[in-house]
Structure 1
Amino acid sequence: MKFTLSWLKTHLDTDADLATILKTLNAIGLEVEGVENPAEKLAGFKIARVLTADKHPQADKLQVLTVDHGDGEPLQVVCGAPNARAGLIGVFGLEGAVVPSNGMVLKKTAIRGVESNGMMCSTRELELGDDHDGIIELAPDAPVGRVYADWAGLDDPVIDVSVTPNRQDCMGVRGIARDLAAAGLGWLNAIIVPTIEGAGPGPDVRTDDPDGCPAFYARTVRGVTNGASPDWMARRLKAIGQKPISALVDITNYIMIDLGRPLHVYDMATLKGGLVARKGRSGEQVLALNGKTYTVDESMTVIADDEAVHDIGGIMGGEHSGAQDGTSDVLIECAYFTPERIAVTGQKLALTSDARGRFERGVDPAFLDDGLSIATSLVVTLCGGTPSEATRAGALPLALRTIAYTPDQCLALAGVDVPADEQKRILESLGFAVSGDADSVEYQDGMPVSVPGHWTVTVPSWRRDVDGWPDLVEEVVRIVGLDHVPSTPLPRTPGVARPTATPEQLVERRVRRTAAARGLAEAINWSFLSEKEAAAVGGGDWTLANPISEDLKVMRPSLLPGLLSATKRNVDRGAASVRLFELGRRYFKQGERATVGFVLAGEKVARGWQSGKAQPFDAFDAKAEVIALLAAAGAPVANLQGFGEASAAYHPGQSGTLRLGPKMMLAEYGVLHPSLARQFGLSGAVVAGEIFLDAIPPKRKSGALRAPYAPPALQAVKRDFAFLVPADVEADALVRAVRGADKKAIVDVRLFDVFVGPGVEDGQKSLAIEVTLQPGDKSFSQEELEAISASVVKAAGKLGATLRG
């Protein structure tokens, strides 16, 4: 919601400066998102008179001007504007000024061999309009030498306020002024509602859809002359980013922003019969004012005549029936549309507008008559014409709402002690009607005792969000200031606190700390993806019907897209090595799945004089991270089995999975598929992995205490074996087979060499393993070592392995 400071002061009588107003807005819950003063960027531009205009000696389309800018000697300026001529008064940019439209700093230069000092400017160059056909022409009495922004009234800060969805009353400048007045920053000026003397009956309008449009008010004005808006109106609309179109259109936009009341104006020459608010019919279409055609259905409210639909009710009017330059007779619509119907229609059509933003929150249903009268008065004042009587179709949804309230409820709920008379002043300043006594006197044991009474508070028609007494407390505390709410610690239960973290949370903590200790940085991404990103990792099961954005539409089936996007952002900012992890949830029809994902990209070893040649990440780096994180999560790492390639997100032949049996997959890892890397704008080797925490079997709880740590009394014995195995035998299979050869004596088996080459027959490979043997209460004898070795060779032989000679 944008408005200018001067616009605000048409409703708020105050002497407060800008800083105080901004501070107060933030304090009462109207967050200020930004403030911009157009005059600041136009400080270097002055009103100047062209004294002479001569043809450029080297260019037919250029002129050499002599410009009087009111300060010192006239300056020579080269100008290409066709309307530049002697005697013209325009806007001149001095040397050192910055042109708002392109950021160019003006300086003395030579154009086709002729010196030029500064620039005569067009409206587009100063971002004051779209006209670029010539330089600005000002009135003959414009004061030469004065700063243009000051003279043109542009020294008017534009305030941008974020209005929360529940504050429909603050979608107009008047509502914001009302809040500031309640906060003690001045007085709310009375609103003037003109009395319209209508000539002749009102237009033929009705509502056949009371659920979508309960009330439809309208009035015609005949004999209007549509033209440009007055400067004061056009200036305010332009300041907040609204493009002035014509007086009739600008009046409706102005009232919508000023008073929060959307309206629409129809050109009566385009209408065939009366207007009716009704439900749409399947297949009906309307060409809206944004130039797009929309198909409506029975769930939407439309405004139509006897032949066609002219308006998507409460959201956007039709292009065919809108006011044009030659419009002479108009119909002004002022209707009430239910928020629920507007929300459904806007979501289905993916259509947003300023009107939708207000009707969807809920406009003041009691302001139809006054809004129609104010709009009619402005039309007659600015465009002329003769108004008719008003037609009031339907019934206003005006239900009187009252709330029983006692002043001491403020202290009880919010902890803020606000005097009763101050609470009453605040509520009445916000438009609430308060009746009843704040307290009464009763006698106990013959002594007078003050007993808190209660008020009956009537909710104003523009506060749809207020429903009960806690809402009244919120209003009081908001205006008093949330900084007055005391910070009170909760009572602490004596004794030793019981653990509150669940086993799943404890696992996540260990995994998070392990990942950080291994040099990975944690990323926190959205749980939503675009449909394209979701499709790249197999597609998602859940698609949002009403997403915040089309890029956040599908609940993620994988953590990889978010991590890859974050990796791309880091690479674009010059990161040579990216190591990211995320601990979050994946979403499927069966429910949420706790998952850890990581991405390694760029250089594994940074390039430099200490490290030598940079090395890329490979699949084994990903496997190392997976095993370390699985160990931190409590997975039985020693029992893991390596299986074939991972999902389609990974590179075939350079990826794998770790499982506890064929059907229990705990993780997948590997080099990212090149096509997926390209989709996210990444080049070079990118490795990744995902650990599925929900698939890790929980540890069995045991009532017995854990046995104390007892280090072995005897030193371990290590033996190396080199086996020739078929080329298709996985090293992991050999390691697991050997580990099971003697589970009592063998405590570890490690692969340390793979060889293919001279001395090894085709179709075979040499695998060298280190076997660690741990004696118990006595050292191994030679016979025992030979027996264990024989068991190892026998276990390996089951895979077709033979000892290498």
Structure 2
Amino acid sequence: MKFTLSWLKDHLDTDASLDQIIETMVKVGLEVEEVIDPSEALAPVTVGYVKHAEPHPDADRLRVCKVDTKDGEMQIVCGAPNAREGIRVAYAPVGAYIPGIDVTLSKAKIRGVESFGMMCSSRELELGDDHDGIMELPEAEVGTPLADVVGPLDPVIDFEVTPNRPDTNGVRAIARDLAAEGLGTLKPLEVPEVEASFDQPVTVITEAPDACPAFGALTIRGLKNGPSPEWLQQRLKAIGLRPINMLVDVTNFLSYDAARPLHVYDIKKLNGGVHARMGKVGESFEALNDKEYAVDETMCVIADDENVLGLGGIMGGTSSGCDETTTDVLIESAYFDPLTIAKTGRKLSLTSDARYRFERGIDPASIEDGLKRAAAMILETCGGEASSITIAGTPPVEEKTVSYPPAEVTRLTGMDVPESRQEEILSALGFEVSRGGTWDVKVPTWRPDVEGKADIAEEVARVHGLDNLPTDVLPRLGDAPRRQPALSEIRADAARRACAGIGLMEAVTWAFTDEEGAARFAEQPKEIHLLNPISSDLSVMRPTPLPNLLLAASRNAARGAESVRLFEVGGAYTDNTPKGQRTVATGLLWGAGVRDWQGSTDEPSVFDAKAAALSVLEAIGAPASRLMVFSDPLPGYHPTRSGQLRLGPKNTLARFGELHPSVAKAYDLPGRTAIFEVELDAVPPAKNKGATKPALGLPELMPVRRDFAFLYPAEKPASDLVKAIQGADKALIDDVRLFDVYVGKGVPEGQRSLAIEVVLQPNKETLTDKDIEAVSARIVAAAEKQGGSLRG
């Protein structure tokens, strides 16, 4: 919300300085964001006098001027058509900032001629729109600050309107708060009585009392539309609004002056009466922003007997807009339901100053005053004659009285505010006080935020000054008890460390995702669909973090990343019950890996995904050696390059594999993408073995390593062979590792060669050749029993 200092003083009689006003606004809870003081921007600019001007030797349109300035005689090259001898100009020296062109001046050489500074136009100094030539100033001494010559410049104050104070969308409410704090006196608001020369000729009806409880209207005929007065145009320009014509400028002015949005219709463009009603499916209109909007039965529209004219309380339409040919107008001053306005604006993604004010709540008692003030301003400038005022419906003016004990402010804040001061503050804010043991305080209609006695106490406290709050030293507390972290927290932390340890970077994404992305990995029960999503692409609770990680990887790839390694530890959702939320550690590997000594790289594969999943499982205490691998197809995963790690046939601890090619294409991820998901909650807790740690038991003898190559059926999982060998001699075999797979020349069709390393760990005595041969024989026998044969 922006306003100028002179605008504020239209309502507040005060001699306070700008700094005092800003300080007091902050004190009473009006958070000032920025103050723009034009005089500060113009501080370096002074009056100069052109002593001599001659054509530039190398440019027909340029002139070389000798200018008397506060810095002495300066040479300035200027291209303005009115640059000539004998005029006083706005001189900006080297180093000055010119706001209109966003340039800091420096010494320049223009077509070979040096130029020191600049003679400015009004647009370049943001003092007007004239850019046809440099400013020609009245008689003034050289070196006089420009601000002293062009007259007082109006500072602009920009502050943040808090949701609980919709009345401060108007300048008068700000003046009222400052007057209550003692910074001046609130001037009476003059609402002129407009003489009615004829009865209202346009029928006005509200057919949607819930959405538009009251619709006021007044007609002016015989007017001549044109530019608004200079003072009004300057005010609108100062707050960033573009003056259009008197009819439009008046509505904008009153919207900011009194938080009273209005709208004006050209009567000659209407077909019959004006109706406030709910829209109908299939109706549409072209709004004043030159866009067409379709309406439905949830939206309040303003329509004539044939067409929709606009959205009530949000934006009018081009079909009934006013222009320079308009002579007869209907002024609308209505009250619209804030919730209806908010829903309509959000559904259509349509914002406006009117919507901003109506959806926060305006003064329902301001309908008639708004019409009178607008009509008086229009009649004064445009002429014409006014009709009587018609109000369809009943404004929802609520007579609200709050029982307020004066001691309440002390009870809630600790501040001791005398009763006389409390009454003074409340009266200045527009409340009517009836004193007694417990006061009856009548709430003004422009304060919808005041509901109970705590709100009254808040008004007293903020105006009296929250800097008067009593202070006290809190008693020193003992050390806070240390909480033992839950098992889920320990596992989540361990999973993060494990993922970071294998080179993945942590991502934190939304707990929501898009419906299409979620459907690629899991079914979507109705329970995980959001009733009120923050955007259309975040409409369901994510069944897995994978869609969000893939979006992040896709964004990185689109920006030139050659390798993406991401993980996230967070929630996944299957329904809306507590058991429907799981904690998963999810990872993604895409793009070239680390280059080897030859400069080549390998893309991630299913084995990288499995290794990463096992690393996380081991970190959180899962019995990795007892896990079984299943190859059931998984949604979103490659059908033949994926698997599941289970503890038993039903308890799935992890899923791993490569991304399905169709899913990879949907996310614009060329090549292979390895993914994994570890269910942290599915791992059974470790059995309590007591607080005493077992003996370390490091072996004293060196291990013995033996390599075997087995021919093994291609359709059988290699893990079955590894487990069979592991069980050949549980006392001596310490580890079994598959380190190579070969298919090709020398290997029968339908089989593959598996190279396996077996680590034998003696405990009592060094193994002899005979012992090793015996163990090897048992290993071969176990492999043959599983379907393998020792390769010759």
The structure-2 alpha-carbon separation of the partners of 1:197 and 1:144, relative to structure 1 and needing over 3 Å to count, comes to farther
What is aligned with 1:237?
236
Whether 1:596 aligns to 2:592 is: no
Query: Once the 2 structures are TM-superposed, how far is the Cα of residue 270 of structure 1 from its aligned partner?
Result: 1.3
For 1:73, what is the secondary structure of its paired residue?
A: strand
Q: 1:767 aligns with which of 755, 763, 766?
A: 755
Q: Deviations over 1:506-565 (max 9, x none)?
A: 433444455567776654444445778778988987666655556655654553565577
- For normalisation by structure 1, the TM-score amounts to 0.80
**Contact in 2 for aligned 1:78/1:115 (Cα 8 Å):** no
What is aligned with 2:273?
274
Query: Once the 2 structures are TM-superposed, how far is the Cα of residue 252 of structure 1 from its aligned partner?
Result: 0.8
**Contact in 2 for aligned 1:48/1:67 (Cα 8 Å):** no
Query: Once the 2 structures are TM-superposed, how far is the Cα of residue 361 of structure 1 from its aligned partner?
Result: 1.2
Query: Once the 2 structures are TM-superposed, how far is the Cα of residue 247 of structure 1 from its aligned partner?
Result: 2.0
**Contact in 2 for aligned 1:277/1:303 (Cα 8 Å):** yes
CA distance in 2, matches of 1:94, 1:267: 51
**Contact in 2 for aligned 1:531/1:539 (Cα 8 Å):** no
The structure-2 alpha-carbon separation of the partners of 1:314 and 1:75, relative to structure 1 and needing over 3 Å to count, comes to same
Instruction: Select between 3-12 and 362-371 the one with higher mean Cα deviation.
Output: 3-12
Query: Once the 2 structures are TM-superposed, how far is the Cα of residue 316 of structure 1 from its aligned partner?
Result: 0.3
What is aligned with 2:783?
796
Q: Deviations over 1:165-223 (max 9, x none)?
A: 33222222233343444455544443222222222223432222211111111112223
The structure-2 alpha-carbon separation of the partners of 1:356 and 1:639, relative to structure 1 and needing over 3 Å to count, comes to farther
**Contact in 2 for aligned 1:32/1:159 (Cα 8 Å):** yes
Whether 1:193 aligns to 2:191 is: yes
The structure-2 alpha-carbon separation of the partners of 1:320 and 1:56, relative to structure 1 and needing over 3 Å to count, comes to farther
Instruction: Select between 494-503 and 709-718 the one with higher mean Cα deviation.
Output: 494-503
The structure-2 alpha-carbon separation of the partners of 1:278 and 1:758, relative to structure 1 and needing over 3 Å to count, comes to closer
Instruction: Select between 153-162 and 307-316 the one with higher mean Cα deviation.
Output: 153-162
Whether 1:11 aligns to 2:11 is: yes
Query: Once the 2 structures are TM-superposed, how far is the Cα of residue 406 of structure 1 from its aligned partner?
Result: 2.4
**Contact in 2 for aligned 1:756/1:766 (Cα 8 Å):** no
CA distance in 2, matches of 1:487, 1:22: 29
Whether 1:583 aligns to 2:569 is: yes
**Contact in 1 for aligned 2:413/2:469 (Cα 8 Å):** no
Q: Deviations over 1:348-397 (max 9, x none)?
A: 32222111111111111011122222222222233333222212221111
Q: 1:691 aligns with which of 678, 682, 685?
A: 678
**Contact in 1 for aligned 2:653/2:683 (Cα 8 Å):** no
CA distance in 2, matches of 1:600, 1:84: 68
What is aligned with 2:709?
723
Q: Which residue identity does 1:327 align to in structure 2?
A: T
C-alpha RMSD of the superposition: 4.9
The structure-2 alpha-carbon separation of the partners of 1:86 and 1:685, relative to structure 1 and needing over 3 Å to count, comes to farther
**Contact in 2 for aligned 1:540/1:555 (Cα 8 Å):** no
What is aligned with 1:463?
447
Instruction: Select between 762-771 and 260-269 the one with higher mean Cα deviation.
Output: 762-771
What is aligned with 2:176?
178
The structure-2 alpha-carbon separation of the partners of 1:131 and 1:579, relative to structure 1 and needing over 3 Å to count, comes to farther
* 1:521-532 → structure 2 map (5 Å cutoff): 522-528=506-512
CA distance in 2, matches of 1:216, 1:186: 36
Q: Deviations over 1:72-127 (max 9, x none)?
A: 43644242x67777888776654334454664443343444555555555676556
Query: Once the 2 structures are TM-superposed, how far is the Cα of residue 300 of structure 1 from its aligned partner?
Result: 1.9
What is aligned with 1:338?
337
The structure-2 alpha-carbon separation of the partners of 1:786 and 1:614, relative to structure 1 and needing over 3 Å to count, comes to closer
**Contact in 1 for aligned 2:63/2:83 (Cα 8 Å):** no
For 1:465, what is the secondary structure of its paired residue?
A: coil
Query: Once the 2 structures are TM-superposed, how far is the Cα of residue 780 of structure 1 from its aligned partner?
Result: 8.8
Query: Once the 2 structures are TM-superposed, how far is the Cα of residue 343 of structure 1 from its aligned partner?
Result: 2.0
Q: Deviations over 1:289-308 (max 9, x none)?
A: 01111122222222222222
Q: Which residue identity does 2:190 align to in structure 1?
A: I
**Contact in 2 for aligned 1:627/1:637 (Cα 8 Å):** yes
Q: Which residue identity does 1:226 align to in structure 2?
A: N
What is aligned with 2:108?
109
The structure-2 alpha-carbon separation of the partners of 1:4 and 1:795, relative to structure 1 and needing over 3 Å to count, comes to farther
CA distance in 2, matches of 1:182, 1:682: 64
Instruction: Select between 338-347 and 91-100 the one with higher mean Cα deviation.
Output: 91-100
Q: 2:694 aligns with which of 684, 709, 716?
A: 709
For 2:710, what is the secondary structure of its paired residue?
A: strand
* 1:383-422 → structure 2 map (5 Å cutoff): 383-413=382-412, 418=417, 420-422=419-421
CA distance in 2, matches of 1:798, 1:52: 111
**Contact in 2 for aligned 1:415/1:486 (Cα 8 Å):** no
CA distance in 1, matches of 2:251, 2:116: 44
Instruction: Select between 241-250 and 521-530 the one with higher mean Cα deviation.
Output: 521-530
Query: Once the 2 structures are TM-superposed, how far is the Cα of residue 159 of structure 1 from its aligned partner?
Result: 3.6
The structure-2 alpha-carbon separation of the partners of 1:606 and 1:359, relative to structure 1 and needing over 3 Å to count, comes to farther
For 2:780, what is the secondary structure of its paired residue?
A: helix
CA distance in 1, matches of 2:152, 2:617: 64
For 2:371, what is the secondary structure of its paired residue?
A: helix
Instruction: Select between 100-109 and 378-387 the one with higher mean Cα deviation.
Output: 100-109
What is aligned with 1:735?
722
For 2:381, what is the secondary structure of its paired residue?
A: helix
For 1:199, what is the secondary structure of its paired residue?
A: strand
For 2:243, what is the secondary structure of its paired residue?
A: coil
Gaps (5+ residues) in structure 1?
Answer: 438-452
What is aligned with 2:492?
508
Instruction: Select between 736-745 and 454-463 the one with higher mean Cα deviation.
Output: 736-745
CA distance in 2, matches of 1:91, 1:534: 64
Name the count of aligned residue pairs.
Answer: 780
* 1:520-559 → structure 2 map (5 Å cutoff): 522-528=506-512, 548=534, 555-559=541-545
Query: Once the 2 structures are TM-superposed, how far is the Cα of residue 566 of structure 1 from its aligned partner?
Result: 6.6
The structure-2 alpha-carbon separation of the partners of 1:635 and 1:464, relative to structure 1 and needing over 3 Å to count, comes to farther
Q: 1:202 aligns with which of 173, 191, 200?
A: 200
The structure-2 alpha-carbon separation of the partners of 1:648 and 1:802, relative to structure 1 and needing over 3 Å to count, comes to same
What is aligned with 2:359?
360
For 1:583, what is the secondary structure of its paired residue?
A: strand
**Contact in 2 for aligned 1:577/1:606 (Cα 8 Å):** no
Query: Once the 2 structures are TM-superposed, how far is the Cα of residue 229 of structure 1 from its aligned partner?
Result: 2.8
CA distance in 2, matches of 1:523, 1:152: 57
What is aligned with 1:447?
none
Instruction: Select between 193-202 and 617-626 the one with higher mean Cα deviation.
Output: 617-626
**Contact in 2 for aligned 1:281/1:296 (Cα 8 Å):** yes
* 1:106-255 → structure 2 map (5 Å cutoff): 106-113=105-112, 115-119=114-118, 134-135=132-133, 155-183=153-181, 185-204=183-202, 205-255=204-254
The structure-2 alpha-carbon separation of the partners of 1:523 and 1:488, relative to structure 1 and needing over 3 Å to count, comes to farther
The structure-2 alpha-carbon separation of the partners of 1:688 and 1:45, relative to structure 1 and needing over 3 Å to count, comes to farther
For 1:594, what is the secondary structure of its paired residue?
A: strand
**Contact in 2 for aligned 1:193/1:374 (Cα 8 Å):** yes
For 2:725, what is the secondary structure of its paired residue?
A: helix
For 2:261, what is the secondary structure of its paired residue?
A: coil
Q: Deviations over 1:233-280 (max 9, x none)?
A: 323322332222222211111211221111011122212322222222
**Contact in 1 for aligned 2:82/2:134 (Cα 8 Å):** no
Whether 1:320 aligns to 2:319 is: yes
CA distance in 1, matches of 2:723, 2:42: 77
The structure-2 alpha-carbon separation of the partners of 1:521 and 1:55, relative to structure 1 and needing over 3 Å to count, comes to same
The structure-2 alpha-carbon separation of the partners of 1:248 and 1:556, relative to structure 1 and needing over 3 Å to count, comes to farther
For 1:382, what is the secondary structure of its paired residue?
A: helix
CA distance in 2, matches of 1:177, 1:682: 59
The structure-2 alpha-carbon separation of the partners of 1:92 and 1:491, relative to structure 1 and needing over 3 Å to count, comes to closer
The structure-2 alpha-carbon separation of the partners of 1:112 and 1:466, relative to structure 1 and needing over 3 Å to count, comes to same
CA distance in 2, matches of 1:412, 1:496: 30
Instruction: Select between 333-342 and 46-55 the one with higher mean Cα deviation.
Output: 46-55
**Contact in 1 for aligned 2:218/2:332 (Cα 8 Å):** yes
